[in-house]
């Protein structure tokens, strides 16, 4: 084996920071999008109290499904 082609143990070992960074970033984006969903749902119910019941149920169902997801 050539000395220039050998891989040192530190280069081939698992680095958790490479995995943790994207997970934290994904959680932050997910939290922001969930906040947008909550605000949109609140604004809908505040501004359209006389909408048809089926549409209100659809909005509520969408919010609950995304909360459970």
Q: For the segment 30-51, what is each residue's pLDDT rounded down to a tens digit?
A: 999 999 999 999 999 999 999 9
Asked, for residue 11, whether it belongs to a domain, the answer is: no
Asked, for residue 6, whether it belongs to a domain, the answer is: no
Statement: residue 7 has pLDDT above 90 = no
Burial of 34 (0-12, 13-18, 19+ CB in 10 A): middle
Q: For the segment 17-28, what is each residue's pLDDT rounded down to a tens digit?
A: 888 999 999 999
Instruction: Tell me if the pTM is above 0.75.
Output: no
- What distance, in Å, lies between the first and last C-alpha atoms of the chain? 51
Asked, for residue 49, whether it belongs to a domain, the answer is: yes
Asked, for residue 2, whether it belongs to a domain, the answer is: no
pLDDT band at 13 (very low <50, low <70, confident <90, very high): confident
Statement: residue 1 has pLDDT above 60 = no
Identify the pLDDT of residue 4.
Answer: 58
Q: What is the number of structural domains in the chain?
A: 1
Asked, for residue 3, whether it belongs to a domain, the answer is: no
Asked, for residue 51, whether it belongs to a domain, the answer is: yes
Dmax of the chain from CA atoms?
78
Domain that holds residue 61: 16-68
* Closest by Cα among 45, 42, 65, 64 to 53: 45
């Amino acid at each position: 084996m050539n000395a220039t082609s050998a891989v040192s143990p530190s280069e081939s070992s698992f680095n958790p920071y490479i995995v943790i960074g994207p997970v934290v970033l994904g959680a932050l984006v997910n939290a922001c999008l969930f906040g947008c969903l909550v605000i949109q749902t609140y604004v809908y119910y505040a501004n359209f109290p006389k909408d048809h019941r089926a549409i209100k149920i659809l909005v509520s169902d969408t919010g609950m499904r995304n909360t459970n997801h």
